[in-house]
Structure 1
Amino acid sequence: MVLRSLARSPLLIVSLCSLVAAKAAQYPLRAPAGYGASQSTLKNAHFDLVNHGSGYAPTFSNVMEDDFPVLTHHYEVNSTVELSSISDEYFTRVNHPMFPHHSVRIKRSKDWCDTSVKSYTGYIDIGAKHLFFYFFESRSPSNDLILWTNGGPGCSSSLGLFMELGPCQILSEEDISSPKFNPHSWNNNASVIFIDQPIGVGFSYADYGEHVGRTEEAAKDVAAFVAIFMERFVKGKAGAEDLKFHMAGESYGGRYLPVFASEVVDMNTELKKGGWTPVPLKSVMIGNGITDFASMMTSYYDVQCTNASLKPLLPISTCVRMRQAIPRCEALLRSECLDRFDSMSCLAASATCGMELEDPFFMTGLNPYDISKPCDGPIEETLCYPVTQHIRTYLNKPETRKQLGVSKNVGEYKGCSDEVGTDFHTHVDGMRMTAPYVEGLLERGIKVLIYVGTYDWICNHVGNYRWTAALQWSGHKAFNKEELREWKVGGEVAGRTRSAEGLTFATVFGAGHMVPYDKPEQALALLNRWLADQEL
């Protein structure tokens, strides 16, 4: 849902667009074992299709038995599984020869959330690590599948589901007993997966304290999940050849998604070599993301001291000081974080610039995710949105957790994990270059949509406009030649946009950090046009 951090500010929250943290050793990247395994060498192999809930599986860690019985049989390598056959009484486990250390267990969640469609929940098991996900089928015939992740780092996609774009919502205390139908859900015209990642987020968990501290490492597990899902649930089905897969998210998703999508593209090369089904990745959609932290850092002056979003927020004397700091900050961030990357030097540069450009905002008492209103706090508990506490209450109800198949190894649900955020801070993950991943995706024909609510401060439209304009790829000149124009919904101006060569930038007037929450009708219209390959 949102960017969060441990902090330097009086409110204990500082923009993770700066990601200030201590230096720590980096975890080595690891590729899933099995890359390169060919289908021809596995013709006669058999794999477990079904195993019980969170029970013991021979090739995975021993997990405490929960409320679901054991059912085991085998299937041929090339076979797929009908989602209609998935039970709500036990988990079905599927896997993929290319990813021997990964498997997916899934169950139906019957009569839950949106009874007009079938919904499922499950886990991606990676040894002793377990990532939780929700899956909702589309309300209408559709060949589009969306994978959604929230940001943080460390925030659960349950926030996106119940607060923003899912088929049911929890927006008040009354909704805790029964989430209400969302008419503007993104599954109106697409099937949607919500994933709690990385390990330790939401209902995801590890058996022995395993964790992930870098986006590039988390990408391996997400890509493997997508490949398994496509191979076992999509391949060979009617319309499968027309399926379009989209990766979407917001906030720190601006860091996650370019890396995740790039991993999928590179993985497809290996899948094709092995004779397996590639993932039909069509596009990446990032809402109010942090993709280039240097551009975002200096944009705080514009949002706080000019009319870029609303009226100026700070005293003139403070703005003068901020303006004077910008050239020094630009030079520091470029030399210590971009031209070369040294963790300690980059952290020091970010801390220096953060004190000048970020800290003044937190004295205003405004909501960093929507500067049109005060923070409805305390921010460290509510993220300025009390609705997050209603979602937390609902997901901690024993009957909810049982229906979803949540492992008994999972402790209390929290919207955002401080532990995961700390891991990513110590690995200085958010300051690493991400824009080149976007350039690589565009060069390979993957469409990219950057949409931004204009009332957001923390990952604002000014910073996002600047880094998209600075992208270096073959469509650079064509994109920057395009003028911003109005786009409309229902005859009314919804924002401004420009698009060329696969890249689209769009603002959403009157929305904050979470566009589907603030402007659900406009967000759904934007999505539907994007899926239909229509101009905004």
Structure 2
Amino acid sequence: MRFNVAASALFLVPCALALVAPSPHLQNKRSTVLKEGVEYNVFEHAATGAKLEYVNNSGICETTPGVNQYSGYLSVGENMNMWFWFFEARQNASTAPLAAWFNGGPGCSSMIGLFQENGPCHFVNGSTEPSLNEYSFNEYANVIYIDQPIGVGFSYGDDQVTSTYTAAPYVWKLLQAFFDQFPQYESRDFAIFTESYGGHYGPEFASYILDQNKGVANGSVTGDAINLVALGINNGWIDAGIQEKAYIDFAVNNTYKQILSSSDAQSYYSAYNDECLPAVKQCESSGTNNACINADNVCYDSIEGPISGAADFNVYDVRLSANAVDPPETYVDYLARSDVKKAIGAKSNYSECPDAAYYKFSSTGDNPRSFVSELEAVIQAGISTIVWAGDADWICNWVGNYDVAQTLDFSGASTYRNASLEPYTVDGVEKGTFKTVDNFSFLRVYEAGHEVPYYQPEAALQVFKQLISQGKISSTSAVSGASVVRSVLG
């Protein structure tokens, strides 16, 4: 999800000094502690000064026999507690890859993804109790869901994150502590999957990990290298200069509902060219908070805000009316239950998308800052990458995602730009259109809103598995009950 309001503050640059430095005399310590009737496993991590407190196998959400889960907190500093929920793979957990899931916002909980999209359980037909999701991402991989920054979801305490850049070191720190507590996962293939404002998060978190890995290799960073192999961005907000125009393009011409007539759109195109784009370019050239806050305000006031009110439509799924709620919010009531919170070890009340975290990001003008260069660096490093989008979403629509993908610079970029989109099939059924060149793929998903795995769970799981295991996506055809893979563009 993506929201838009303005404030003002200093833009902070990420650095090791932003994290609490450990004492050189500390060693990792493990213990258990009983707090308010809940037994927590405690792991004090010497290398980062962080502390993990978590519960084993709560029995909540994942009820498949023999599949372990851990939920709890990483304390990354004084009164800074980041929530995580980890699920083993249902098959071959001892050798399966590891993936991290981040929802967007900025400032929205990854429990959205867990319960509404791709987690081990979901709520069906208005049920108040979850049931197993057969298309969960942990059908294939071990998956960790992370609520960041502090204050989001079940995370609580002091939030020092004011931008995508300052968020990345805390994610690195959590992963380092997690790997030291659970060393069986540290050498596994690792993937980041994210959506919406994850168009900022994904490229920055991935590029930060690659930079830290270089530091580990040359001895300038203490820690474990992370074997990053894949990055997936679902309906991402990556580059405002490109995607603000796509708000107009999609509103005029999409599969489901015309929001603007061609004649009405002309004033918006003028506003884009005369007001929004120049402000975004000023943000990019100067890099100052004030310029980027101004760009955020100008583009919202001239394009995003007016178009979102120009017709009765839901910005996350244009097939719905503006006030419709889908996916249902059943899981929020479930996570408010005291018995559920106690079982999973949650120490705070759940907050899906709190305002405080968002305001900190808006205070640095984070929204209109482009993350194309970070995304290009990840692709150029050989990381298997996909930008994919449900084609009924307006807020981070597929047109804008496609336009961003067309600008990317990597070794196969020329071939990619000139290639046509081809049908993407799941067991012979067309679910969208795609193209793949080298380690980069783009996919438009039919009949899907903002949260693609909710609308097209079978296709989402296939994409997830293919990107991690094959390095690219490809169509599958049903033949005698088995799937035969057909690649497009090598």
Under a length normalisation based on structure 1, what TM-score does the superposition of the two structures give? 0.81
CA distance in 2, matches of 1:512, 1:34: 37
Residue 61 of structure 2 corresponds to: 113
| Counterpart residue number, 1:357 | 303
Quote the residue 1:26 is aligned against: 11
Aligned residue number for residue 479 of structure 1? 416
2:273 match: 327
CA distance in 2, matches of 1:474, 1:20: 38
- Distance, in Å, in 2 between the alignment partners of 1:302 and 1:476 is 24
Q: Of 156, 177, 181, which residue of structure 2 is paired with 1:228?
A: 177
1:297 maps to which of 235, 244, 248: 244
Equivalents in 1 of 2:68, 2:17: separation in Å? 31
Cα offset for 1:396? 0.9
Letter in 1 for 2:115: F
User: Is the 8 Å Cα contact of residues 495 and 506 (structure 1) preserved in structure 2?
Assistant: yes
1:151 and 1:353 map into 2 onto residues whose CA distance is 20
1:248 to 182, 189, 193: 193
1:258 — aligned with what? 203
The AA in structure 2 aligned to 1:103 is K
**In structure 2, what is the equivalent of residue 145 of structure 1?**
98
Q: CA deviation at 1:167?
A: 0.4
Partner of 1:397: 337
The alpha-carbon deviation at position 224 of structure 1 amounts to 1.3
Shift of 1:107: 2.0
Instruction: Measure, in 2, the Cα distance between the counterparts of 1:332 and 1:106.
Output: 48
1:415 aligns with 2:400: no
d(CA) in 2 for partners of 1:491, 1:461: 23
Which residue identity is paired with 1:190? Answer: A
The residue aligned with 1:535 is: 473
- Tell me what 1:46 maps to: 27
Q: Is it true that 1:156 corresponds to 2:106 in the alignment?
A: no
Residues 1:387 and 2:319 aligned together: no
SS in 1 for 2:134: coil
Alpha-carbon separation, structure 2, partners of 1:360 and 1:443: 36
1:150-196 CA-to-partner distances (Å, cap 9, x unmatched) read: 1111111111111110001134542x3x3111111111011110011
1:168 to 121, 124, 140: 121
The equivalent residue for 2:83 is 132
Matched residue type, 2:88: E
> Which blocks of at least 5 consecutive residues in structure 1 are unaligned?
6-18, 54-64, 69-88, 378-383
- Which SS does the other structure have where 1:373 is aligned? coil
Give the Cα separation in 2 of the matches to 1:425 and 1:36: 28
Amino acid at match of 1:259: E
- Rounded to whole Å, the distance in 1 between the matches of 2:327 and 2:438 is 41
* SS at structure 2 position matched to 1:452: strand
**Partners in 2 of 1:353 and 1:218 — Cα distance?**
24
Q: Contact (CA 8 Å) 1:285, 1:449: kept in 2 or not?
A: yes
- Conserved 8 A contact 2:293-2:363: no
Contact 2:203 2:374 (C-alpha < 8 Å) held by counterparts: yes
Is 1:503–2:466 an aligned residue pair? no
CA distance in 2: counterparts of 1:267 and 1:426, whole angstroms: 27
What amino acid is the match of 1:269?
K
Q: Deviations over 1:465-519 (max 9, x none)?
A: 1111112233322322322111101212111111223111111011010000111
Amino acid at match of 1:118: N
Cα 1:467–1:333 change in 2 (3 A) is farther
Q: Is the 8 A contact 1:216 1:259 kept in 2?
A: yes
The answer for the alignment partner of 2:485 in structure 1 is none
Change (3 A) 1:197 1:172: farther
How far does residue 325 in structure 1 lie from its aligned partner after superposition? Answer: 2.9
1:345 to 287, 291, 299: 291
Tell me what 1:90 maps to: 40
How far apart in 2 are the matches of 1:32 and 1:234? 26
Once the two structures are superposed, what CA deviation does each residue of 1:208-235 show, in whole Å capped at 9, x if it has no partner? x443211111110101111222233135
Structure 2 unaligned residues grouped into runs of 5+ = 475-490
Q: Pick closer, same or farther for the CA change 1:480–1:25 going to 2, 3 Å.
A: same
Q: Is the 8 A contact 2:52 2:177 kept in 1?
A: yes
**Which residue does 1:434 correspond to in 2?**
371
Q: 1:457/1:29 Cα in 2 relative to 1: closer, same or farther (>3 Å)?
A: same
Secondary structure of the residue that 1:486 maps to in structure 2? strand
Question: What SS does the aligned partner of 1:27 have?
Answer: coil
TM-superposed CA distance for 1:255, in Å, is 0.6
| Matching residue's letter, 2:432 | G
Report sequence identity in percent.
Answer: 30
Question: Is contact 1:453–1:509 with CA below 8 Å preserved after alignment?
Answer: yes
Q: Secondary structure at the match of 2:431?
A: strand
Query: What is the CA deviation profile of residues 360-389 of structure 1, one whole-angstrom value per residue up to 9, with x for unaligned ones?
Result: 232312110011111345xxxxxx33722x
Q: Give 3-state SS (helix, strand or coil) of 1:469's partner.
A: helix
SS in 1 for 2:40: coil
Q: Secondary structure in 2 aligned to 1:387?
A: coil
3-state SS of paired residue (2:31): coil
Classify 1:354/1:496 alpha carbon distance in 2 versus 1 (closer, same or farther; 3 Å): same
Q: Which amino acid aligns with 2:382?
A: G
Of stretches 44-53 and 119-128 in structure 1, the one that deviates more from structure 2 is 44-53
Structure 1 residues 386 and 447: alpha-carbon distance in aligned structure 2, compared to 1, 3 A threshold: closer
Which stretch of the first structure deviates more once superposed, 480-489 or 512-521?
480-489
Give the aligned partner of residue 524 of structure 1.
461
- Whether the 8 Å contact between 1:376 and 1:385 is mirrored in structure 2 is no
Question: In structure 1, what is the Cα distance between the partners aligned to 2:20 and 2:438?
Answer: 32
Q: Distance in 2 between matches of 1:136 and 1:401?
A: 17
- Counterpart-to-counterpart distance in 2, 1:272 and 1:129: 29
Contact 1:110 1:118 in 2 (8 A): no
Q: 1:187 aligned to 126, 130, 138, which one?
A: 138
What code does the residue aligned with 1:196 have? Answer: D
Letter in 2 for 1:121: S
Q: 1:263 to 1:51 in 2, by over 3 A?
A: farther
CA contact (8 A) 1:167 1:186 kept: yes
Q: Using a 3 Å threshold, how does the CA distance of structure 1 residues 465 and 91 change in structure 2: closer, same or farther?
A: same
Q: What is the aligned partner in structure 1 of residue 321 from structure 2?
A: 374
Equivalent residue number for residue 380 of structure 1: none
Partner of 1:71: none
Cα 1:424–1:353, aligned 2, differ >3 Å: closer, same or farther?
Answer: closer
Q: How far apart in 2 are the matches of 1:460 and 1:33?
A: 35
Aligned length: 465
Letter of the 2:338 counterpart: P
CA RMSD of aligned residues (A): 2.5
Q: Which amino acid aligns with 2:469?
A: A
Contact 1:495/1:509, CA 8 A, preserved across alignment: yes
Deviations 1:323-342 (A, max 9, x none): 33332246414531223334
Verify the 8 A CA contact 1:286 1:451 in the aligned structure 2.
yes
Contact 2:279 2:291 in 1 (8 A): no
3-state SS, counterpart of residue 105 of structure 1: strand
Quick one: distance in 1 between partners of 2:443 and 2:410? 19
